[in-house]
Structure formats: C-alpha cells, structure tokens
C-alpha cells in the first residue's frame, strides 16, 4: 500500500499523460524500425499515411509492396493491384481502423489540452469559447483550400504541391489547425502575463481572425486567378454565403430567445454560449440544405451530394419515405437541419449550472469541441458553394 501511495503521488495525471504519449511514440517509431513490414507497412502506412499520401497526389490509390510505393490514378488499376495480392493498397478516405484510431487520438489530445489549460491557469473563463470561434471558421476555410487544390485539373500547377499539401488534407488538417490554435493560445497567455494585453482572449481572437481572413483571401485569389479559366463553376456566389449566415443567425437567435423566455432551464447553464452552439449546428444544417436542394434555384451552376454518412443516410431515408411531389417542393435535406437543431438543444440543456460549477474547464473544453463539430464542416460546405468548388 505504501508503494502504491508513493507511486500515485509521484505520478500525477499530467505525468501519466506524458508517459503514455512517450510510450506510444516509442512503440510506434521503434516498431516501424524493427518490424517495418508489420507496424509501418501493414498498420501505419496502410490505414493512416497511405490514404493521405494518395489524396495529396490526387491518386485513386497508393500501392506499397517490396518496400516501394506506387501511385495509381484509376479505379481499375487499383482493383487490379488488390486482385494481384501481395500488395498493400490504400485509398483516400477513412477506414474503420483509422476512424477508431483518430477518435482515440482526439480523446487523448483533449485530455492533454485540459492538463495544459490547468498548467496555464486559464480556461475557466467562458470568453475562451468566443475567442476560439474564428479558429473554427478558419478550420473550415482551410479545408476548402484543400478542396480547391484538388479541383485543379491535370496539367495545371496546384496552388499547394506535395508534400506541403498533406498538412491540409483530412485528417492531418485537424492536427494542423490544432497546432496553430495551441500556439496562438500559448502566445496570447504569455502576452497577458506580461501585461501587454488585459485579457488573453483578445489577442487569441485577433490571431484567429487574422488567419481566417488570410485563408479566405487566398481562396478569392485562387478561385479567380487559378481555377477560373479551367474550372467552369469556380467563381464567387455571394448569395449562398449571405443566406447561410442570415438563416443560421435567425434560427439560432429565434431559438435562443424562445428558450430564454418559454423554457429558461434549457439555457440556464450555458447562457449566451447556447446561442453559439445553436448557431454552429444551424450553420452546418443550413449549408447542407441550401447546397443539396436549392443550389440551382439560387443561381449556382452545380449541386452538391452529401459527404458525411449521417447526412447521406438522412437524405436517403427522406427520399425513400416522402413522395416525389413533396420532395420537389421542400427538398430532401431539411431533416438534417432538424436533427442538428435538436442535438444542439439537447447539448445546451445538458450543460446545466452544476457542470460549470464542478469542472468549468472541462465543460468549456467540451463545448468548444461540440461547436467545432458543427462550425467547421458547416463553414466548409458554405465556402465550397460560395466559391463554386
């Protein structure tokens, strides 16, 4: 018992987290060197790096065998490589293994961020959520940069070439945005500690706004100067941008006022943060509905198909249940918006005052993640349609 007590006292949760990260890193690096065929080729490359490598080079798949890697640019060639056997074939996108791995990494990193916030003695302030909003918009905009890069036809030089473009390819882009946000947070806290600013949230929000403006500015230049002549739909369609922002604000604001007056228990714990949660998920829903069902009516020379499994499932169910006459009138994507609103309402209701009293850092960090899940994908869909990518 005495040994256990000493061990527990010497290894606090932060040190346990660091030790776990170090052990995992050593195991993966060491295993890749000692058991290259199993750990690197069969696991890390197959499920994680191979799909990113193929996506970064606009290939249909990447094939690894005999210690060499080959890029294939047709589905038929990839199928032949699989049928031949003896090769490891990685296609762009996610697999069950990679999704589980990324989910576990996300949970682990959230714990690390919580420890960092404690170390910095920040994160109890609700202003942190509002200061991070520009970074969430930035993450969605940066994802559109990768979409624009992929839209470049063969023979045209991409705006961001390999290997740099691998930093903005999903899921690596999440780590890129995380690293930029974390660096901005540390810098902002340092400025506040040196009394350069009165609150760290101010420079944090300013840095997020700066990278967001720079990213959107790049998209404006890229879609007009590089994609315009070669991509018939690329351009600027501001109506989709205005409608998405206005409708999302009206929906979130209306619900916030309704809950505040008719059911104050819903927003009692989160206060104004509940509006942010509702807005983020309304934006995701509205952007999907407009792009999927009303793009042609809004003057866009294209329409979008759903990219997320949940959205695709909802649209398919709606199309199977409702008669064609109803679908032609109100579309098929609107139930996705309802699901997002219901989910956001449930979140703000669950986060009552008790949660913030017991562990405010943990509560705010979870809300940041929940807002990002809506605002990031919603911004991406909104800007893709805005720039015709």
User: Average pLDDT in the 128-140 region?
Assistant: 96
Task: At 208, list the tokens.
Answer: 């997020």
For the beta carbon of residue 354, count every other beta carbon within 10 angstroms: 10
Of 22-36, 115-129, 181-195, 221-235, the poorest mean pLDDT is in: 221-235
Share of the chain above pLDDT 90, in %: 55
pLDDT of residue 3: 46
Of 92-101, 183-192, 254-263, 323-332, the poorest mean pLDDT is in: 323-332
In order of 94, 178, 286, the CA distances from 379 in angstroms are 21, 17, 11
Task: At 246, list the tokens.
Answer: 């206005």
User: Sheet of 68-72: strands edge to edge?
Assistant: 68-72, 61-65, 88-90
Q: Band of the pLDDT at 179, cuts 50, 70, 90?
A: very high
User: Average pLDDT in the 108-117 region?
Assistant: 90
Q: Which residue has the tokens 């999927």?
A: 292
236 and 220 in contact (C-beta within 8 Å)? yes
Of 60-74, 195-209, 295-309, the poorest mean pLDDT is in: 295-309
pLDDT of residue 72: 94
Summarize pLDDT for 37-48 with one digit per residue, the tens. Answer: 999 999 999 999
385 and 377 in contact (C-beta within 8 Å)? no
Q: Band of the pLDDT at 188, cuts 50, 70, 90?
A: very high
Of 134-143, 148-157, 280-289, 377-386, the poorest mean pLDDT is in: 148-157
What is the model's pTM? 0.86
Q: What are phi and psi of 157, to 5 degrees?
A: -65, 125
User: Average pLDDT in the 135-149 region?
Assistant: 92
Summarize pLDDT for 310-322 with one digit per residue, the tens. Answer: 777 787 787 777 7
**Distance between alpha carbon 371 and the CA centroid of its chain, in Å?**
10
pLDDT of residue 44: 94
Q: Band of the pLDDT at 69, cuts 50, 70, 90?
A: very high
Of 69-78, 147-156, 205-214, 345-354, the poorest mean pLDDT is in: 147-156
303 and 295 in contact (C-beta within 8 Å)? yes
User: Average pLDDT in the 188-198 region?
Assistant: 95
Asked if residue 14 has pLDDT above 80, the reply is yes
Task: At 186, list the tokens.
Answer: 């540390």
Asked if residue 156 has pLDDT above 70, the reply is no
pLDDT of residue 313: 78
Give the residue ranges of DSSP H helices in 35-171: 50-56, 75-84, 96-120, 127-150
Q: Band of the pLDDT at 297, cuts 50, 70, 90?
A: confident
User: Average pLDDT in the 140-166 region?
Assistant: 81
pLDDT of residue 274: 96
Task: At 260, list the tokens.
Answer: 């505040």
């Amino acid at each position: 018992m005495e040994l256990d007590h000493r061990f527990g006292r010497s290894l606090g949760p932060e040190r346990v987290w660091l030790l776990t990260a170090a052990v995992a890193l050593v195991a993966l690096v060491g295993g890749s060197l000692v058991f290259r065929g199993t750990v690197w080729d069969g696991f890390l490359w197959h499920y994680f790096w191979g799909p990113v490598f193929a996506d970064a080079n606009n290939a249909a798949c990447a094939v690894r065998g005999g210690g060499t890697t080959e890029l294939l640019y047709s589905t038929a060639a990839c199928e032949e490589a699989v049928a031949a056997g003896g090769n490891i074939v990685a296609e762009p996108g996610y697999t069950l293994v990679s999704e589980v791995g990324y989910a576990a990494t996300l949970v682990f990193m959230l714990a690390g961020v919580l420890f960092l916030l404690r170390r910095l003695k920040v994160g109890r302030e609700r202003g942190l959520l509002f200061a991070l909003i520009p970074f969430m918009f930035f993450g969605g905009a940066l994802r559109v940069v990768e979409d624009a890069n992929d839209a470049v036809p063969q023979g045209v030089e991409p705006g961001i070439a390999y290997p740099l473009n691998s930093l903005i390819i999903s899921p690596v882009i999440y780590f890129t945005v995380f690293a930029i946000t974390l660096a901005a947070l540390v810098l902002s806290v340092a400025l506040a500690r040196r009394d350069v600013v009165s609150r760290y949230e101010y420079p944090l929000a300013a840095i997020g706004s700066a990278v967001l403006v720079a990213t959107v500015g790049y998209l404006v230049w890229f879609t007009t100067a590089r994609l315009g002549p070669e991509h018939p739909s690329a351009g600027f369609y501001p109506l989709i941008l205005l409608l998405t922002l206005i409708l999302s604000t009206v929906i979130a604001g209306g619900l916030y006022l309704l809950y505040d007056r008719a059911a104050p228990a819903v927003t009692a714990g989160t206060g104004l943060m509940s509006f942010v949660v509702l807005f983020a998920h309304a934006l995701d829903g509205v952007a999907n509905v407009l792009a999927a069902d009303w793009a042609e009516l809004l003057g866009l020379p294209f329409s979008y198909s759903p990219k997320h499994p949940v959205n695709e499932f909802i649209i398919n169910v709606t199309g199977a249940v409702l008669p064609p006459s109803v679908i032609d009138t109100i579309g098929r994507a609107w139930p996705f918006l309802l699901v997002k609103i219901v989910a956001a309402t449930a979140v703000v209701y669950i986060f009552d005052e008790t949660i913030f009293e017991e562990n405010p850092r943990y509560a705010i960090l979870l809300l940041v993640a929940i807002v990002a899940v809506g605002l990031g994908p919603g911004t991406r869909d909104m800007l893709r349609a805005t720039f015709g990518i």
